[in-house]
Amino acid sequence: MSNIAIVTDSTCDLPKKIIEKYNISVVPLNVHFGEETFLDGIDLEPDAFFEKLSTSDTHPTTSQPSVGRFLETYNDLLKSHDFIISIHISDKLSATHSTALQAMNQLSNEKIRVIDSKNGTLGLGSLVHKVALINESDKDFESLINKTQDLVEKAEFFGLVPTLEYLAKGGRIGKAQEFFGSLLKVKPILSAVDGEIHPVGKVRTLNKGMDYIVDIVKENKIETLFVVHANHLERANLLIEKLDGVIDKKSIVISEFGPVVGTHLGPGAFGIGFITLE
């Protein structure tokens, strides 16, 4: 086992096969449906979540893990590892990073380092995946920290939401913008900019959105491309078909938006995450 443990949170949206292969520890966020609280990816998997989202009269809310959960995770890992690198969703998107820092400070342990990915979903996931790959060969803690910090600027996520409804319900955009977008049938292309999610492009159709994303892949040198979807595998497969000849299909990994991210994006959203090698 590596002497450096890799920790992240459930907004990374990495598929279980990647998490298990690289022994990544995932701290779950919380999803609240009224008085009910579920642990993201543990009590509530994507399929069950999106079914509940479509049938519930209450729109879910989300919250960060407790300090206690991070303390438990760190203490357990330090029994079998010398060091911990804990990489999390942007502190501008969630208090998760702040909570991880509180746990690190309570332990007063220099063997733990908490890093702000300045990203979310598969932007964060791509970063964690790449760090886990490097960790297989580079066992030096300070070196891995420096490489992780350099990779933060190279992690990318681009996604499309079919409707602005869920972003509006989650308080991520104003009602006026929701109406404006619906009226013009505009579908925003979203990406992380300075740690916040911003529209970086607008398209009128899902097909045009896929073309936009294909062009992004063409413009970047990518080792592993994550294609992610919200309860809509058909769209993910269609995007992969459009990427034929652009990137080796063996380099593509399909994933799903988890309940926390799905709360804000809604069903039918899709996107890509990657580390640019340029």
How do residues 94-150 score in pLDDT, each as one tens digit?
A: 999 999 999 999 999 899 999 999 999 999 999 999 999 999 998 899 999 999 999
Beta bridge partner(s), residue 17: none
For the chain, where do the domains classified as CATH 3.30.1180.10 start and end?
A: 155-276
Query: What is the pLDDT, as a whole number, of residue 174?
Result: 47
- Which listed CATH number (3.30.360.10, 3.30.450.20, 3.40.50.150, 3.40.50.10170) goes with 4-152? 3.40.50.10170
pLDDT digits (tens, 9 = 90+) for 6-37: 999 999 999 999 999 999 999 999 999 999 99
Given pLDDT bands bounded at 50, 70 and 90, which one contains residue 165?
confident
For the chain, where do the domains classified as CATH 3.40.50.10170 start and end?
A: 4-152
More confident residue, 180 or 187: 187
At residue 175, does pLDDT exceed 50?
no
Greatest Cα-to-Cα distance within the chain, rounded to the nearest angstrom: 56
Read off the tokens for 139: 């066992």
Query: What is the pLDDT, as a whole number, of residue 71?
Result: 98
Query: What is the pLDDT, as a whole number, of residue 171?
Result: 60
Query: What is the pLDDT, as a whole number, of residue 138?
Result: 80
Q: Which amino acid is at 208?
A: K
Given pLDDT bands bounded at 50, 70 and 90, which one contains residue 41?
very high
The whole-chain average pLDDT of the chain stands at: 92
Residue with tokens 């729109």: 59
How many degrees, rounded to 5, is the angle at CA 39 between CA 121 and CA 148?
Answer: 35
Query: What is the pLDDT, as a whole number, of residue 220?
Result: 97
pLDDT above 90 as % of the chain: 79
Its pTM stands at 0.93
Given pLDDT bands bounded at 50, 70 and 90, which one contains residue 176?
very low
Least confident piece of the model among 57-61, 80-84, 171-175: 171-175
Between the alpha carbon of residue 231 and those of residues 53, 63, 75, 226, 266, the distances in Å are 11, 22, 35, 15, 9
Tell me the three-class secondary structure of the chain, residue by residue: CCCEEEEEEHHHCCCHHHHHHCCCEEECCEEEECCEEEEECCCECHHHHHHHHHHCCCCCEEECCCHHHHHHHHHHHCCCCCEEEEEECCCCCCCHHHHHHHHHHHHCCCCEEEEECCCCHHHHHHHHHHHHHHHCCCCCHHHHHHHHHHHHCCEEEEEECCCCHHHHHCCCCCHHHHHHHHHHCCEEEEEEECCEEEEEEEECCHHHHHHHHHHHHHCCCEEEEEEEECCCHHHHHHHHHHCCCCCCHHHEEEEECCHHHHHHHCCCCEEEEEEECC
pLDDT digits (tens, 9 = 90+) for 211-231: 999 999 999 999 999 999 999
Q: Provide the CATH number for the domain formed by 155-276 in this structure.
A: 3.30.1180.10
Mean pLDDT of 138-163: 93
